[in-house]
Amino acid sequence: MDQRKRKRMISNRESARRSRMKKQTHLNELMAQVNQLKEQNNQIVSNINMVSQVYLNVEAENSVLRAQMAELSNRLQSLNEIINCINSANSTIDETEINCEDDFLNPWNLLHVNQPIMASADAFMY
């Protein structure tokens, strides 16, 4: 009886050892998977940050381009008005005949023409 009991005890110990080893192996695999997922998460966060920065740069450049477009549209409209005024005059031009809508030929209104178009410092990084 002692022999059978001892054999069962040894078998149980061996089974418990295998179970602990299996559990430890599974734990090691899970820890490796956690590390891999953390690394992937860091890469994704890094990519999101990079894309966000590029998005902000593009938005800033877009804003500058919109401002330039508005200014150039105003200048084009003013130049078209000048052309219309010149084309509408017959052969002589009196000051009374030049009656454009926004008084473009008024010297005080020419100040905006000489203003430079400003762009942000990082608009030309590309």
Do the domain assignments include residue 122? no
pLDDT at 91 over 50: no
- Pick the range with the lowest mean pLDDT from 13-22, 30-39, 57-66, 83-92: 83-92
Do the domain assignments include residue 121? no
Do the domain assignments include residue 119? no
Average pLDDT over residues 30-48: 98
Q: Can you tell me the distance from the alpha carbon of 65 to that of 124, in angstroms, rounded to the nearest whole number?
A: 12
User: Cβ distance 122 to 57 under 8 Å?
Assistant: yes
Do the domain assignments include residue 123? no
- Give the model's pLDDT for residue 72: 97
Total number of domains constituting the chain: 1
User: 69 lies in which domain range?
Assistant: 2-114
Residue with tokens 């430890």: 24
